[in-house]
């Protein structure tokens, strides 16, 4: 294996580990590609270079597989290594396609739930609790009812406790 292939392989392992950690997956770059494939097509036009990144990442995975499984493979180019290193930097800087997709989805969700879109009700519904699920009103009522029943049972028990 030439130095270029060794450097490429090491950089790929770095990106693969980063993707595994990022996605909590066993297969790093492959899981990243699967997430890209599962992304809503409607958001793709909002993300410049999405398809280019997708096909570049597929190519880089192919080069890695050739290096790993084909003895004497010499098809790795310096541009492949540069592209791989640049993509790794973008993932670290949260400028990669999935980070951009996440932010675009958050922006759309915020637009649907903004106080301007929902009026007074949206502001009162817990706009300060971003990222946390909102409690269901029936769950709050059910908990209050259970606590009230327990308190009443304890009070009745203490009032009618036989003297000793």
Note the pLDDT of residue 85: 96
Residues 164, 159: Cα–Cα separation, whole Å: 14
Residues 94, 33: Cα–Cα separation, whole Å: 16
Q: Which of 1-15, 43-57, 150-164 reaches the highest mean pLDDT?
A: 1-15
Distance of CA 131 to the CA centre of its chain: 13
Note the pLDDT of residue 123: 35
Q: In this predicted model, which residue has the larger pLDDT, 115 or 95?
A: 95
Note the pLDDT of residue 147: 81
Give 8-28 pLDDT, tens digit per residue.
999 999 999 999 999 999 999
**Average pLDDT score, the chain:** 80
Residues 102, 70: Cα–Cα separation, whole Å: 36
Residues 45, 153: Cα–Cα separation, whole Å: 61
Residues 4, 64: Cα–Cα separation, whole Å: 12
Give 106-152 pLDDT, tens digit per residue.
777 776 654 444 443 333 334 444 444 555 566 667 777 788 888 78
């Amino acid at each position: 294996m030439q130095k270029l292939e060794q450097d490429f392989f090491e950089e790929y392992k770095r990106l693969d580990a980063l993707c595994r950690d990022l996605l909590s997956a066993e297969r790093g770059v492959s899981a990243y590609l699967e997430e890209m494939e599962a992304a809503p097509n409607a958001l793709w036009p909002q993300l410049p270079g999405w398809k280019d990144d997708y096909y570049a990442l597929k190519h880089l995975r192919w080069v890695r597989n050739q290096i790993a499984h084909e003895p004497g493979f010499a098809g790795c180019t310096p541009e492949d290594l540069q592209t791989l290193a640049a993509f790794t930097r973008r993932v670290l800087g949260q400028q990669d396609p999935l980070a951009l997709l996440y932010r675009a989805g958050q922006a759309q969700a915020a637009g649907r739930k903004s106080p301007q879109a929902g009026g007074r009700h949206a502001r009162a519904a817990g706009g300060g609790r971003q990222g946390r699920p909102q409690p269901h009103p029936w769950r709050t009522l059910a908990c209050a009812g259970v606590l009230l029943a327990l308190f009443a049972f304890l009070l009745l028990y203490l009032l009618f406790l036989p003297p000793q």
